[in-house]
Amino acid sequence: MIDTFALCVALVVAGRPALAAEPTMPSSHTTASSAPAASRRAPAPIDADAARRAGSSALDPARERAAITEAIDAVLRGADLHQWSLVAAAFAPSVTLDYGTPETLTPTAIVARWQPLLESFDATQHRLTSQSITLDGDRATVSSDFVATHVLRGEPGGELWTLTGRYEHRLVRGARGWQITALRMIPAQSTGNTALLAAAQRRAASRTPNADAVATVADSAADVRTVTRVVDALFIATDAKDWATARTLFVAEPIAVDMRSLVGGDVLRMTGAQLIDGFAQGLHAGKASHHMTSNLRVDVRGDSASVFAHGYAWNRVAALPAGHDFWETWGTYLFTLRRTAGEWKLASFRYDSRATRGPDAVRTHQPSAR
């Protein structure tokens, strides 16, 4: 049996892999296509401004840019995976959508338009490159090159159609983080079987609309976004050593904590406060840390939710000799959350390490160690 402190020290250093197994959580979304994701920030269901400022009296431009990128990526990923609540959550309540003619639409109206068409393709993939972000307080503008690939099998003239061009986004930061207020698509080049768009439109016209997918978007979008922020808030608070904030993110009763991939032993049960006390001891003032999550898959079902994510983290102890002061880990997370008194709280924590690099003495270091 491992001791609780060893487990807690291991817990604070979960990481990000290049490849990961499918999550063991239930999911209602399965598709052959995918889209990129980026690191996230975390306002959380606690005070949003306080969480954004965790560890700093001023906003971190790099963190804000990562959050902006994630909001844009969420639209592409959600559209490719047909996770429409994820798409809707990335948009502000009113959006200017410009695919040639500007229109003002709600997130639900955007989903109602995109869902029948994109689900009529056998697969789609949207990718961004050469992204330029301009920050101006609580507003941002983003320009990105894109490549959108569409697959429709069995069509005369070929199964692939690829469109390239540029997206221009405008975003605002509010209580729910960064959200898109405007999206303009500027096409550049179309290659492959350009007739696939018309074929998909014919398919979409003959389909029975997925009313449930559209009707539940407005209700579930905020939950997906908030659940994501709770997970992010844990790591932001951990790296900032903001233990008071971290303790508020858990349910009151004991939770299951599974770190067997790093420290062996059994799945343990402890309260969130006990877990954070271990974090605080393991990540003492002389040990810096940095946690990142990406490729989140969020499944919200009523008052329960699960989150699968890739992760990467490092620990550094400046007091150790150069070359022996840095430790990294790559792996995957699986969280469950529960809505309690109107707030989403973490109800379990699992980390599966795929790889580590560097001396383990960094991870387990304490101020008295020599």
Q: Walk me through the domains of the chain, giving residue ranges and CATH numbers.
A: 4-18+220-363 (3.10.450.50), 59-81+83-118+120-206 (3.10.450.50)
Contact 90, 68 (CB under 8 A): no
Neighbours of 367 (CB within 10 A): 10
**Tally of CB atoms within 10 A around 285:** 8
Confidence (pLDDT) at 301: 79
Which of the four pLDDT bands, split at 50, 70 and 90, describes residue 6?
Answer: very low
Residue 102 CB burial class (10 angstroms; 0-12, 13-18, ≥19): exposed
Compute the mean pLDDT over every residue in the chain, rounded to the nearest whole number: 82
- For 25, counting Cβ atoms within 10 Å of its Cβ (0-12 exposed, 13-18 middle, 19+ buried), the class is middle
CB 272 within 8 A of CB 249: yes
The pLDDT of residue 206 is: 78
Do residues 317 and 327 lie in contact, with contact meaning Cβ atoms separated by under 8 Å? no
Q: What is the pLDDT of residue 219?
A: 54
Q: How confident is the model at residue 212 (pLDDT cuts 50, 70, 90)?
A: low
148 Rama sector, left if φ>0, alpha if ψ -120 to 50, beta otherwise: beta
User: What pLDDT, in 10s, does the model give residues 72-130?
Assistant: 999 999 999 998 888 988 999 899 999 999 999 998 899 988 999 999 999 999 999 99
- Show the tokens assigned to 28: 């209602």
